[in-house]
Copies of this chain bind each other. A is one copy, B any other.
Amino acid sequence: MSVPLFEKHQATLDAAVNAIHTRGFWTPYPELPSPKVYGETANEEGKRAVEALFNTEFTLNQPGQSGWRAPERSPYGVEMGVRYPVCDPVALVEAAGKAQTAWQRIGPRGRVGVCLEILDRINKRSFEIAHAVMLTSGQGWMMAFQAGGPHAQDRGLEAVAVAWDEMSRIPETAIWEKPQGKNPPLRMQKHFEIVGRGVALVIGCSTFPTWNTYPGLFAALVTGNPVIIKPHDNAILPVAITVRIIREVLAEQGLDPDLVSLAVIEDPAVTRALATHPAVKSIDFTGGNAFGQWLIDNARQAQVYAELAGVNNMVIESTDNYKGMLRNLALTLSLYSGQMCTTTQAIMVPAGGVDTDQGHKSFDEVAADLGNAIDTFLADPNVATAMLGAIQSRDTLGRIAEAGQYGKIVLASRKVEHPEFPKAEVRTPVLLTCDAADETSYMKERFGPISFVVKVADADAAVALSERLVTTCGALTVGVHSTRAEVLDAMTDATLRAGVALSINLTSGVFVNQSAGFSDYHGVGMNPAANAAYSDSAFVANRFRVVQRRYHVA
């Protein structure tokens, strides 16, 4: 059977499957917002396309619509006023359920083809989506383009590739022929159908509205499930554009667009009712522990894939590139003002200091030098605004303001004026020192640009504390700087036990908070910060089942 969209995108699929098996660098979506790649006018057109949506109704023609809402408040202070459809979640669930059978029937190749076409369309709209990500999340432009555009698309394609890798090994049919000695063999024809588990709910976050949404969206969709996306109330636009693109592609293919819908919900009780609807069989959630744990405890009818809070940490024991280490770490702590789920919060340094290529540095020197490195890095206001972006939530502004309570300030946060967005809340990181005993300070996620240099007894204590932080608070990233094999071995063993990804001696152009699609497993799924990873086989395998039938043939 010819499946045109599958054939159209097969080369991309094959390369993606090869990439997840080899895990080297690969992407079909160029990460540089280059006019040569995306077109000379792409940036301007994308920006204008977003601005054209301001103060209008974002129509999606979804069922059960009762009104409109425009809840977004841009961290850049831009008045957006986009009005989104408010639809009865039960109507969305019922329409999704109706759309599922035809989606199942087109089979894995049909679904993969449609998903890859969707991703291709999304890629072509990268500038528009990036502007929407920037305005809603407060990310700087370059990050909004890269993480909100091509890198998010990478993670979506990765989920499709991992799922295809599972589904393609299940034959559609088989002849089962069992010898019977001298008698004719028993001979049966068998059919194996891949069936989605049911409606998937994807709950987005405020900071990475596409990067943290596309993996669950595409993993659920390609395995045969309808998807309802409930974006964060402050980061709807990038998701709404995505949903519109998906519904357009579905309609073009003669499929029911209600297979994928947008749920804009004001009342948390309504979200809870949707999450516990019996037809909802999976939930992908990125966000805080309170609601994440509520989902795990209460949405028992669904498989819940949750990325929650954590205390990412780093051990600095020694280095042969002190300046490189400080520069690398300064960028890690500055990027998007630490509003990444992968930003380092606790940096363990032995009380006796650190051996470096610049001589021995005391604990206080390391802390002061890191503060200076951040200050130097962000001295140029253009670099600072591009790197920091804007503070997404008032809660984060509050945490920055009260950070002095948590420890001794090494580097205070300062407000930076944004030349383009005068109302933007831009803040540099605050760096604190504290003692390992001050557990109430650093052993809790302080989301935002707030980090601690934690004084530990020695290297062994640093490794032990790092492991305890991961197992008790959770972590998506751990780093280590050491020139000693025994320290690196101990950190390797500790992170294998605790279940967290380890970055070793990053001193150049890769940062601990970066996670590359097709290569890095994001989240692991073994410690309290996340129960699933982007994208291993466990992320996709439970989203479908194989239903078989069999009968005798001659």
Contacts and interface: CB of A to CB of B under 8 A. Distances in A.
A500 interface: yes
A169 B166 CA distance: 11
Interface in A151-204: 165-166, 169-171, 174-180, 186, 188, 190, 192-193, 195, 197
Given A174-B519, A195-B496, A524-B545, A550 B503 contact: yes
A33 interface: no
A526 interface: yes
B24 A520 contact: no
A541 B165 CA distance: 13
B541 A22 contact: no
B195 A526 contact: yes
B174 A23 contact: yes
Interface string A518-533: 0111001110000001
Nearest to A169: B21
A376 interface: no
A104 interface: yes
A22 to B, nearest CB: 6
Interface stretch (A8-16, A208-216, A363-371, A508-516): A508-516
- Chain A contact-residue range equals 35 or more
Given A24-B175, A24-B177, A545-B526, A499 B195 contact: yes
A289 interface: no
Assembly stoichiometry (copies) = 2
A547 interface: yes
A291 B6 CA distance: 46
Interface string A274-311: 00000000000000000000000000000000000000
A522 B441 CA distance: 52
Nearest to A546: B521
Contacts of A188: 510
A117 interface: no
Given A165-B169, A526-B195, A542-B542, A23 B190 contact: yes
B508 A547 contact: no
A227 to B, nearest CB: 19
A98 interface: no
B545 A504 contact: no
Given A171-B22, A508-B552, A546 B519 contact: no
A502 interface: yes
A521 B544 CA distance: 13
A55 interface: no
A175 B226 CA distance: 37
A507 interface: yes
A501 interface: yes
Interface in A103-144: 104
A505 interface: yes
A506 interface: yes
Contacts of A101: 497
A193 B508 contact: no
A536 B549 CA distance: 16
Contact of A546 (B170, B504, B524, B549): B524
Contacts of A192: 23, 521
B541 A176 contact: no
Given A174-B23, A510-B188, A541-B541, A502 B548 contact: yes
Contact of A547 (B175, B176, B197, B499): B499
Interface string A461-500: 0000000000000000000000000000000100111011
A411 to B, nearest CB: 27
B536 A537 contact: no
Nearest to A550: B503
Contacts of A22: 171, 174
A421 interface: no
A3 interface: no
Nearest to A186: B509
A508 B187 CA distance: 10
Contacts of A251: none
Contact of A25 (B176, B507, B510, B537): B176
B174 A547 contact: no
A550 B504 contact: yes
A69 to B, nearest CB: 35
A504 B550 CA distance: 6
Given A21-B171, A165-B169, A521-B548, 14 more contacts: A24-B175, A24-B176, A25-B176, A170-B536, A186-B509, A499-B547, A501-B548, A501-B550, A502-B549, A506-B551, A506-B552, A520-B548, A524-B547, A541-B541
24 contacts: A21-B169, A21-B171, A23-B171, A23-B174, A24-B177, A25-B176, A166-B537, A174-B519, A176-B519, A180-B509, A186-B508, A188-B510, A192-B521, A195-B526, A495-B549, A501-B548, A502-B550, A504-B549, A507-B552, A521-B548, A526-B545, A536-B545, A537-B541, A538-B542
